[in-house]
Structure 1
Amino acid sequence: MRHAEITRNTSETKITCQLTIDGSGQHQIQTKIGFLDHMLELFTRHGRFDLTLVCDGDIEVDGHHTTEDVAIVIARAFSECLGDRRGILRYGSMLLPMDEALILAALDISGRGMACLELDIPAAQIGSFDTELVEEFFVAFARELGVAIHLQQLAGKNSHHIVEGCFKGFGRALAQAVAINPIAPEEIPSTKGTIL
């Protein structure tokens, strides 16, 4: 079972996280930012990852530190679960419709972290969540795991639907990428012989 437990404490956030990659989508998430909790619940459910996460962050300032640090911790847990990346499929993609919104999510666990987002989110806030933090989440996740993340909005007008499509699509694409290749379960999926 690929499982990790991570604790990260800074002057801005205190986070504990338990992640099982090969799960069923069970989740217990408390970040004190309702919309972020909802997006992470969708991510885990659609990726079928089991995630328990508690964050005590400085949300009296704003949601930036909590959002960024939660992404760092979850990505770090994935990295620990994947070890040397042996046997993983490495690539994943999903074209996800969410009502009128249509999101393309594609990724490569390459060791090179980058996030390329082409999104047009109309609202500046959804609930208490600043929508500019969507990009901050994926940038932090990409950098920590060493994954190239592409999220492209092909259609959509409703801010909630657009962001929800991103997290659902990302969860499903990541589930593909971290799955074990049944044909080559012991191979590092790179001609270099290493991904790290």
Structure 2
Amino acid sequence: MSRTATISRDTSETRISVTVDLDGTGRYDVKTGIGFLDHMLEQLSRHSLIDLTIRCDGDLHIDAHHTTEDCAIAIGQAIDRALGDRRGIMRYGTAYAPMDEALTRCAIDISGRPYLVWKSGFSQPRLGDMDTELFEHFALSLAQNAGLTLHVETLHGRNNHHIVESVFKAMARALRQAVEIDARKADAIPSTKGSLGG
């Protein structure tokens, strides 16, 4: 069973194409026009083993908000579509990701009930060409569109680059666990209700 999906999103603010392969090797080809966002999405792909191709042409003459938000929406929708009915998935994933002095914990439930708990923060308003407040917004948009219950908490950290990199690596590793097929229950939807969502 192929667990791949492509999403195209075309608005007055952005034009995006996203392709994911949940059973990939962490290959990525990412071009959003925002260097720091590209760097984080490459981390997300590499450490989740989800192959990720993104092309985005956004209204960066305004700011990075629409591009960041719409990339998260499209990635979330692609993951949601690639998961299908969620049959056989592990469903839950948890990871700790250290990055030098920074440490972030992430827990994911592919529940179909989007929710974000975010406990991470930054001491500067920008990293590269990206506003640091957009990282939480990215996580929220991803959770809403992939149907994730997503908990992110940075336990330690001073360097802003290290903090956000530990966030994306923790999300990636937790996502990797959650989308994996459970060899003991590959034919079953992991819910006593018989379905995930709502």
Normalised to the residue count of structure 2, the TM-score between the two structures is: 0.97
Query: What residue is the counterpart of 1:102 in the other structure?
Result: 103
1:113 aligns with 2:114: yes
Distance in 2 of aligned mates of 1:105 and 1:181: 20
Aligned residues: 196
Give the C-alpha shift of residue 120 in structure 1: 2.1
Distance in 2 of aligned mates of 1:62 and 1:117: 23
**Root mean square deviation, CA, Å:** 0.7
Query: What residue is the counterpart of 1:166 in the other structure?
Result: 167
Counterparts of 1:65-104 in structure 2, within 5 Å, are 65-104=66-105
Distance in 2 of aligned mates of 1:26 and 1:145: 20
3-state SS in 2 of match to 1:172? helix
Query: What residue is the counterpart of 1:43 in the other structure?
Result: 44
3-state SS in 2 of match to 1:5? strand
3-state SS in 2 of match to 1:164? helix
Give the C-alpha shift of residue 67 in structure 1: 0.4
Query: What residue is the counterpart of 1:151 in the other structure?
Result: 152
1:141 aligns with 2:139: no
> Unpaired runs of 5+ in structure 1?
none
Counterparts of 1:56-67 in structure 2, within 5 Å, are 56-67=57-68
3-state SS in 1 of match to 2:87? coil
Q: Deviations over 1:112-151 (max 9, x none)?
A: 1011110121111001100000011010011111101111
Query: What residue is the counterpart of 1:5 in the other structure?
Result: 6
Give the C-alpha shift of residue 5 in structure 1: 1.1
Distance in 2 of aligned mates of 1:151 and 1:5: 27
> Unpaired runs of 5+ in structure 2?
none
Distance in 1 of aligned mates of 2:122 and 2:152: 13
Q: Deviations over 1:64-117 (max 9, x none)?
A: 110010001011111111001111000001011110000001110111101111
Give the C-alpha shift of residue 39 in structure 1: 0.1
Distance in 2 of aligned mates of 1:45 and 1:124: 27
Distance in 1 of aligned mates of 2:115 and 2:63: 24
Opposite residue 61 of structure 1, the aligned amino acid is: I
Give the C-alpha shift of residue 179 in structure 1: 0.3
Distance in 1 of aligned mates of 2:138 and 2:125: 16
Distance in 2 of aligned mates of 1:109 and 1:60: 35
Opposite residue 29 of structure 2, the aligned amino acid is: Q
Identity percentage of aligned residues: 49
